[in-house]
Amino acid sequence: MAKILLVEDEQNIASFIERGLQEFGHEVRTAFDGQAGWNLVDKEEFQLLLLDIVMPRMSGLELCRRYRSKYGYSTPVIMLTALGTTEDIVSGLDAGADDYITKPFSFSVLEARIKALLRRASSDTQPEQITCGDLILDISARRALRGKKTIELTVREFRLLEYLMRNKGVAQNRLDLLKEVWDKEMDRTNVVDVYVNYLRAKVDKGFNNKLIHTVIGVGYMIDEPYE
């Protein structure tokens, strides 16, 4: 299946998770603190990282940031957290995580998330660039350009912008965005609002023509500037 790095400081929990992943056929390497995790990921290749957030020597957030800075975004990262507030979730996603799962969790849920992320990572057959007005999203380089301005995006911001641009001109409701971009089926739609605001600050701020629109009673849409 996949070679996975598990970084979890509670050894009983780590052993439990490792056994469960192995039952699904995964090869698992385990570290018990963030620095040990970094030492492993810095010398071995993994297809997915599974990181606890609160750990000694280096937090999961810092480990994820360091990994993204050096190795980019091709390898999916899932955060394991006992913290479930919107602020905590946003912090994890801003660090470069693709997904998060709140403890306690079932292995069937974790395996479904792993499969979805591995499938996405291995089967990107979409065009390399998509556009909306003067906004260009470069899929292969994972960056956005508007005019001469380069727009730096986190992993989640990129995925949200990509989804909106692939559905340009079509209003997307919050629950659909949550499901498609976050792979969640729940009613935490304020996370969507938070990230749309992030995108607006990066994509539309300083430009007269706004591309990201609120569709009252529905949700959000990206489209050519309204007349």
Of the options 1.10.10.10, 3.10.180.10, 3.40.50.360, 3.40.1180.10, the CATH number for the domain spanning 129-222: 1.10.10.10
Strands 212-215 and 135-138: unpaired
- pLDDT tens by residue, 92-107: 778 888 888 888 888 8
Closest to 221 (Cα-Cα) out of 166, 154, 178: 166
Mean pLDDT of 12-33: 91
Tokens, residue 55: 């750990």
Provide mean pLDDT across the span 76-103.
80
- What's the pLDDT at 188? 65
Any idea how long the chain is? Answer: 227
Average pLDDT over residues 61-84: 84
Whether the predicted pLDDT of 142 surpasses 90: no
Cα(213)–Cα(227) distance, rounded to whole angstroms?
13
Measured CA to CA, the distance from residue 2 to residue 55 in angstroms comes to: 24
Q: Given a cut of 80, is residue 122 above it in pLDDT? A: no
What is the spatial distance between Cα 172 and Cα 17, in angstroms, rounded to a whole number?
Answer: 36
The yes-or-no answer to whether 3-122 and 129-222 have a common fold is no
Residue 127 predicted with pLDDT over 60: no
Q: Which of these, 26, 66, 25, lies nearest to 46 by C-alpha position?
A: 26
Q: How far is CA 132 from the centre of its chain?
A: 22
Q: Are 164 and 221 in contact (CB under 8 A)?
A: yes
pLDDT at 125: 47
The architecture CATH gives domain 3-122: 3-Layer(aba) Sandwich (3.40)
pTM to 2 decimal places:
0.60
Tokens standing for residue 143: 């960056």
Residue 49 banded pLDDT, cuts 50, 70, 90: very high
pLDDT tens profile 160-203: 999 999 999 999 998 888 888 876 655 566 889 999 999 999 99
How many percent of the chain have pLDDT more than 90?
35
The domain locations on the chain are: 3-122, 129-222
199 Cα distance to chain centroid: 15
Mean pLDDT over 9-30 rounds to 90
